[in-house]
Amino acid sequence: MAGEWIAYDLALPSKPEVQELLDTTGQPVEVVVYRLLQLWGWASMHCADGTARMTLPRLVRTCGGDEAFWRAVAAVGWLELDETAATVAVP
């Protein structure tokens, strides 16, 4: 566990994955980056190995957005969803 902080890459808003998320979801960069930071912060506090028991509806409730947003995050490779096992993993 990293404690109650996470490192922030100053180039995050301009990364190709974020730019793809902007195009795919239509959300503003501030919203996309905030939701990603919510995800990574939550994972830092609650996952020993990057995998957690988390359904998609719980992820929406915890980090915001909707299921389509988190499926888009998975599509860019920053989240692995296993709906059968009810887990998410941050690779």
54 conformational bin, left if phi > 0, alpha if psi -120 to 50, beta if neither = beta
pTM of the model: 0.90
What's the pLDDT tens digit per position in 21-74?
999 999 999 999 999 999 999 998 888 888 999 999 999 999 999 999 999 999
**Region for residue 90 given its phi and psi (left: phi exceeds 0; alpha: psi -120 to 50; beta: otherwise):** beta
